[in-house]
Amino acid sequence: MLDSSKSQYPPLPLIQTWIWMMTQSGDSDIQQKGQNNLIASFGSLAKANEYLVNHNQD
């Protein structure tokens, strides 16, 4: 099963929503929540970014 590694992460639209929350929202609580969700899912913002870079190359 080649796609098993992808199933451990949330769906791409949800990840994109969290990024929007973190970067575009004017509310600091929403920004923090987006960042916390990404870190909780990936372990770090760097790993979330790496996932997105690799995923967008498909």
Q: What is the pLDDT of residues 15-44, one digit of tens each?
A: 999 999 999 999 999 999 999 999 999 999
In the chain, what is the greatest distance between 2 CA atoms, to the nearest angstrom? 41
Instruction: Give a yes or no: residue 32 inside a domain.
Output: yes
Q: What is the pLDDT of residue 58?
A: 58
Distance CA 20, CA 17 (A): 5
Instruction: Give a yes or no: residue 1 inside a domain.
Output: no
Instruction: Give a yes or no: residue 37 inside a domain.
Output: yes
Q: What region does 20 belong to: left with phi over 0, alpha with psi -120 to 50, or beta? A: alpha
The answer to whether the CB of 34 falls within 8 A of the CB of 25 is yes
> Hey, what are 21's tokens?
């929350």
- For 23, the domain range is 11-55
Backbone angles phi, psi at 44, to 5 degrees: -165, 160
Q: How confident is the model at residue 56 (pLDDT cuts 50, 70, 90)?
A: confident
How many domains does the chain fold into? 1
Instruction: Give a yes or no: residue 25 inside a domain.
Output: yes
